[in-house]
Amino acid sequence: MKGGWQTKKLGDLFDITSSKRVFEADWMTEGVPFYRAREIVKLARHGFVDNELFISEEMFDRYSTKYGIPAAGDIMVTGVGTLGICYVVKKDDRFYFKDGNIIWLKKKTETDSRFVEYAFQSDYLRSQIDDSVGATVGTYTIIKAKSTLIPVPPLPEQQRIVAILNEAFEGIATAKANAEKNLQNARALFESHLQSVFTQRGEGWVEKPLEKVASIINGYAFKSTDFSPKGIVKCIKITNVGVREFVCVSDSYLPYGFDKKFDAVSVRKGSIVLALTRTIILGGLKVAVVPNEYNGALLNQRVAAIITIPDILTERFLFAYLSTEIVVDYVRGRVNTLMQPNLSISDLKSMLIPLPTIQEQDRIANHLDGLREETQRLESIYQQKLTALEALKKSLLHQAFSGEL
């Protein structure tokens, strides 16, 4: 370790405690903000929080007089969920917090709180926090916090390191924000163009119910005891159908001979599959194209397969249409929004499909495929930038707490 540095326990630098218990019956919708671990995470990562819970002014005054409240420079550390996330209390902060969820580090020495906050982000402390959990449910307790080791240089050195990290991390945050904005713009451009293709239709387009231009297969209700992690006959379940992507899993095999016995629910590569249960997640429709390795797989219940009539409707054109907000709105309009958004086979069959000529369908599909590939290329570039920036941040933290900065 660098000269002048010492390894100390957090308990040597801070009085470590938590709050006095506040029962759920005392939570209010107005008053003094009351934070749980999730609010501390938001404060630490975003600098603000839309608070939902409060306690009364009377309770806050009573607790602050009897037990004290967080003061400027104290550190609040999450003890459940996402562990070890720190928030350094500011001068004008006024809040109380949930016992057990948050560890309270009260300043008792001349230690730079921002230095300790950065230490919690470093591998040096993260390894101790992660190792302390073991096989139990994730918790970071007062006892664990007190025994957590931290490298400590003299105060002027702490302040020098904090100044360097502040400047560097500010630049990294700006670069990340720009990369994330570019990533969102690339996706939004594709989505906008995709939507416009089907809202600004050309001449000669017609609409027909899906059942008139495709065959629709409804999955079979296989028994749970039929499935095994190994086998020959693959099965397509709801878990295989993501938002515009097919998710390959290795635990959905059916017994030998089922492929012949249940040939009626067999699907070929290139077919479109759609989840009928929880059809919409994260704002998108769960629809995918069956990959080559699932050719001949059997269809499980609550999954539908769509096989288009080739001279009327192409699979690529239909997949593009099913990826639009138009179809998402169609599904939402036919489900109980208070329950899971499930789509019935009858509603799927009656869905109107816009149809230009086959030649126009191919042209549109080729154009969208090209735009999708370019969007994915840009996404990959921006994602690499984000990964590199995160790696730079980790490298700087490693240097800082190895005495190399």
CATH number at 23 reads: 3.90.220.20
Same domain, 237 and 191: no
CA-wise closest residue to 347 among 332, 364, 361: 332
Same domain, 175 and 135: no
Residue type present at position 281:
I
3-state percent breakdown (helix, strand, coil) of the chain, nearest 5:
45, 20, 35
The answer to whether the beta carbons of residues 268 and 296 sit under 8 Å apart is yes
**Is 194 contained in some domain?**
yes
Same domain, 166 and 222: no
> What is the span of the domain harbouring residue 246?
206-355
Q: What is the pLDDT of residue 82?
A: 86
**Is 269 contained in some domain?**
yes
Same domain, 297 and 198: no
Same domain, 331 and 382: no
CA-wise closest residue to 362 among 306, 317, 318, 319: 317
Same domain, 36 and 160: no
Same domain, 25 and 97: yes
Same domain, 211 and 350: yes
Q: What is the pLDDT of residue 137?
A: 55
- Give pLDDT < 70 ranges for the chain: 1, 131-137, 250, 283, 336-341
Residues linked to residue 266 through DSSP beta bridges, in sequence order: 298
Whether this model's pTM surpasses 0.75: no
**Is 1 contained in some domain?**
no
- If one counts the domains in the chain, the total is 3
The 10s digit of each residue's pLDDT in 151-206 is: 999 999 999 999 999 999 999 999 999 999 998 898 899 999 999 999 988 888 99
Same domain, 342 and 388: no
Same domain, 127 and 166: no
Same domain, 217 and 324: yes
Same domain, 274 and 375: no
Q: What is the pLDDT of residue 169?
A: 92
The answer to whether the beta carbons of residues 294 and 246 sit under 8 Å apart is yes
Q: What is the pLDDT of residue 135?
A: 43
CA-wise closest residue to 4 among 201, 161, 232: 161
Q: What is the pLDDT of residue 166?
A: 94
> Which residues lie below 8 Å from residue 150, measured CB to CB, with a gap of 6+?
7, 8, 9, 10, 13, 116, 119, 124, 125
Q: What is the pLDDT of residue 339?
A: 63
